[in-house]
Amino acid sequence: MKNLAPAIFPPKGIGDAKPGNEAVLDWVHEIAILTEPENIFWCDGSDRENEFLIAESLKQNVLIELNQDKVPRSCLHRSNPNDVARVEQFTFVCTPTKDEAGPTNNWSEPRETYAKLRGLLKGAMRGRTMFVIPYMMGPPDSPLTKIGFEITDSKYVVLSMRIMTRMGEIALKRLGNDSHAEWNRGVHSLLDVNPERRFICHFPQDNTIISVGSGYGGNVLLSKKCFALRIGSYLARTQGWMAEHMLILGVESPEGRKHYVAAAFPSACGKTNFAMLIPPAHFKGWKVTTVGDDIAWMQIRDGGLYAVNPENGYFGVVPGTSYKSNPNAMRSIAHDTIYTNVALTDDGDVWWEGKNGPPPAHAFDWRGDNWTSQSKEKAAHPNSRFTTPMRNNPALDADIENGEGVPISAIIFGGRRSDTVPLVYQAFDWNHGIYLGATMASETTAAAAGAVGRVRRDPMAMLPFCGYNIGDYFQHWLDIGKRLTNPPLIFNVNWFRKGADGTFLWPGFGENMRVLEWIIDRCEGHGGAVKSPIGWLPSPHDLDLAELDIDHNAVDELLGLDHEEWQKEIAAHKEFFDSLGSVVPEELQKQRDQLVGRFKL
């Protein structure tokens, strides 16, 4: 087999940050005996280490150099063309019983799965370097913060984890030497990057993740979907907090009143854009700041919900990102960024569909093949990504390191729906809000392998990320609600509704501020709304649409309910709950009955 990750040999003082914790050392030892690496590299996350690893990666073609005048300190990585997105069909939750994984997860028996994975990992790192990455999820002084270790044979994973997490010394310090301390064990090997030997396996009871056969994104940056969401959601339930697939943003009015909202949209539905929103000129004096763009860990304090972003960077979709759609993202990725699967121009710059300016006449596409502006194929892969430190974001919230978290005024659910679902509406109460989340659906995107554009139910945008039985997850939301005396209000949004001619009715991007303002108004107890069968709907004059070029009919359509469409929608809710078997809590069945009843009034 061709060695896909040849070993590297660091000079003295690099790669020797061995932790003092005996439990970690024992585990690393055990994995090393199994995988037989050429050497072990103990990461400390320092600049010196990072520079060394980038230099080695350039030598080994793991990274491609970019024009340093155009994108300083940035590189391009090309993944194997068979390995460009999360693979949900090869993702497993390995709980002792199938029931615990529930109807929405692929389950496999833990003992058999460990045995199979051990077989695949046997000798897998021969001739390679085994990296040990200590990392911390969450701000240094938060009770929510957790420690993970990832063992990997991929330099790209090490470089990416340094951006995406608080890596190195800081994590070792927080963990300390207590051999009974809680920490996540993550093992990753590229193997031979073969889809037939690609498995992403979670063992929630053991706080363990094993991922083999992929080198891409959520499959291998184990801190992200694997730990912060799948294992995280399991820990959150047993420990009484919440791990959610949500962005967190701050919004401050010209008078200086500040709110935070958390929003759950499926992958590649605009969480990063919403989290970095720049209010249009009409909203002079309003400010939106980013706490997180993908994951929220939330705890109850004083009867309310407080959120931290466990991550340290953004792994965002590149195509479509421009100074028009997301200026803050463009500024963030202008330097110190790893690009994956975008196109490379002849002058060493990066390019993608939807970037500002005309396409280059010639470029190398995401596979490295010749591409011209006449080519039918896309130059950048639709799921091409940037990995960039959150500190690059000009709109970063000042409270990002606040260990108590930021108080959440509103939770927003949303997805891509061409029809049926209005631009925005508000749930009647917490439990009704859970129903909105539990029944949300979205047209699928390139973020996961498989068909694109198919409507699928994606409860709370957690369908691929809930690490235990979805019925118990719904119940956990209900139980959290019982402990909240000051719960966030819950909303649903849909930026993607289309008119009869198939074009989007709503301009989206910065103009979403108009919807956000209504949400904030509702949280403050003003802001008009009409009662509808599905929840509180703004009437056209409840939204500030001044200086927006949109016609009245479009607004009516955006805020309208088509009863026929909703009969189909409710039938789809029922079908979805039925497909889950008997796990859906009574309360949510009751919510559906009430919804049906309200349509009959």
C-beta closer to ligand SAT: residue 267 or 475: 267
Which member of 94, 201, 269, 466 is catalytic?
269
The interface partner of residue 218, options being ligand SAT, Mn ion, none and the CB cut-off 5 to 8 Å by kind, is ligand SAT
Q: What's at 390, amino acid-wise? A: M
The enclosing H or E element of 455 equals strand 455-457
- The residues of the shown chain that bind Mn ion, judged by CB under 5 A, are 267, 294
C-beta closer to ligand SAT: residue 224 or 355: 224
> In this chain, which stretch among 218-226, 346-354, 387-395, 495-503 interacts with ligand SAT, using CB under 6 A?
218-226
- 470-483 and 430-438 helices cross at what angle (nearest 10)? 160
How many C-beta neighbours within 10 Å does residue 321 have? Answer: 25
Query: Residue 218 interacts with ligand SAT (CB under 6 A)?
Result: yes
* Nearest by Cα to 466 from 229, 160, 221: 229
CB half-sphere exposure, 402, CA atoms < 13 A = 15
- For the record, the structure tokens of 227 come out as 């730990």
Query: Residue 202 interacts with ligand SAT (CB under 6 A)?
Result: no
Round to whole Å and give the CA distance between 36 and 333: 37
Residues 6+ apart with CB under 8 A from 540: 552, 555, 556, 559
Token look-up 């949400």 returns 519
Q: State the alpha helices, DSSP H only, in 411-505.
A: 430-438, 470-483
Query: Residue 381 interacts with ligand SAT (CB under 6 A)?
Result: no
CB of 88 to ligand SAT, least distance (A): 10
* Nearest by Cα to 418 from 535, 543, 263, 558: 558
* Nearest by Cα to 367 from 83, 70, 156, 74: 83
Query: Residue 86 interacts with ligand SAT (CB under 6 A)?
Result: yes
Instruction: Please say whether the beta carbons of 342 and 367 come within 8 A.
Output: no
Round to whole Å and give the CA distance between 311 and 460: 19
- Is the dihedral angle over the CA atoms 283, 284, 285, 291 positive or is it negative? positive
The interface partner of residue 381, options being ligand SAT, Mn ion, none and the CB cut-off 5 to 8 Å by kind, is none
* Nearest by Cα to 299 from 291, 288, 308: 308
Token look-up 């009034």 returns 601
Binding pattern for the stretch 251-280 against ligand SAT, x by CB under 6 A and - elsewhere: ----------------x-------------
C-beta closer to Mn ion: residue 267 or 439: 267
Beta strand spans in 528-587 (E): 530-532, 535-537
CB of 263 to ligand SAT, least distance (A): 14
Instruction: Please say whether the beta carbons of 74 and 337 come within 8 A.
Output: yes
CB of 294 to ligand SAT, least distance (A): 6
C-beta closer to ligand SAT: residue 7 or 461: 461
CB of 297 to ligand SAT, least distance (A): 17
Interface with ligand SAT: number of residues (CB under 6 A):
8
C-beta closer to ligand SAT: residue 315 or 496: 315
CB of 236 to ligand SAT, least distance (A): 19
Round to whole Å and give the CA distance between 481 and 270: 27
How many C-beta neighbours within 10 Å does residue 54 have? Answer: 18
The interface partner of residue 244, options being ligand SAT, Mn ion, none and the CB cut-off 5 to 8 Å by kind, is none
523 among known catalytic residues: no
> In this chain, which stretch among 93-101, 217-225, 423-431, 488-496 interacts with ligand SAT, using CB under 6 A?
217-225
Round to whole Å and give the CA distance between 57 and 72: 17
C-beta closer to Mn ion: residue 458 or 569: 458
Binding pattern for the stretch 427-466 against ligand SAT, x by CB under 6 A and - elsewhere: --------------------x-------------------
The interface partner of residue 27, options being ligand SAT, Mn ion, none and the CB cut-off 5 to 8 Å by kind, is none
The most distant pair of C-alpha atoms in the chain lies apart, rounded to whole Å, by 76
The interface partner of residue 534, options being ligand SAT, Mn ion, none and the CB cut-off 5 to 8 Å by kind, is none
Of 111-170, binders to ligand SAT (CB under 6 A) are: none
C-beta closer to ligand SAT: residue 267 or 326: 267
CB of 447 to ligand SAT, least distance (A): 4
| ∠ CA 554-555-561, rounded to 5° | 95
C-beta closer to ligand SAT: residue 315 or 425: 315
Query: Residue 217 interacts with ligand SAT (CB under 6 A)?
Result: yes
Beta strand spans in 138-183 (E): 146-152, 166-167
C-beta closer to ligand SAT: residue 85 or 515: 85
Round to whole Å and give the CA distance between 175 and 172: 5
The interface partner of residue 121, options being ligand SAT, Mn ion, none and the CB cut-off 5 to 8 Å by kind, is none
DSSP state of 230: I
Round to whole Å and give the CA distance between 54 and 398: 30
CB of 464 to ligand SAT, least distance (A): 8
Query: Residue 225 interacts with ligand SAT (CB under 6 A)?
Result: yes
Q: How many residues does the chain have?
A: 601
The enclosing H or E element of 573 equals helix 563-579
The interface partner of residue 102, options being ligand SAT, Mn ion, none and the CB cut-off 5 to 8 Å by kind, is none
CB of 242 to Mn ion, least distance (A): 16
CB-nearest residue to ligand SAT: 218
Q: Which of 77, 185, 202, 224 binds ligand SAT (CB under 6 A)?
A: 224
Round to whole Å and give the CA distance between 124 and 129: 11
The interface partner of residue 416, options being Mn ion, ligand SAT, none and the CB cut-off 5 to 8 Å by kind, is none
Name the percent of the chain in helix, strand, coil, to the closest 5.
30, 25, 45
CB of 447 to Mn ion, least distance (A): 7
C-beta closer to ligand SAT: residue 341 or 392: 341
Instruction: Please say whether the beta carbons of 336 and 302 come within 8 A.
Output: no
C-beta closer to ligand SAT: residue 315 or 477: 315
CB of 162 to ligand SAT, least distance (A): 16
The enclosing H or E element of 351 equals strand 350-351
> In this chain, which stretch among 216-224, 398-406, 503-511, 531-539 interacts with ligand SAT, using CB under 6 A?
216-224
CB of 311 to ligand SAT, least distance (A): 10
The interface partner of residue 355, options being ligand SAT, Mn ion, none and the CB cut-off 5 to 8 Å by kind, is none
How many C-beta neighbours within 10 Å does residue 141 have? Answer: 11
Of 304-323, binders to ligand SAT (CB under 6 A) are: 315
Q: Just list the catalytic residues.
A: 269
Residues that bind ligand SAT (CB under 6 A): 86, 217-218, 224-225, 267, 315, 447
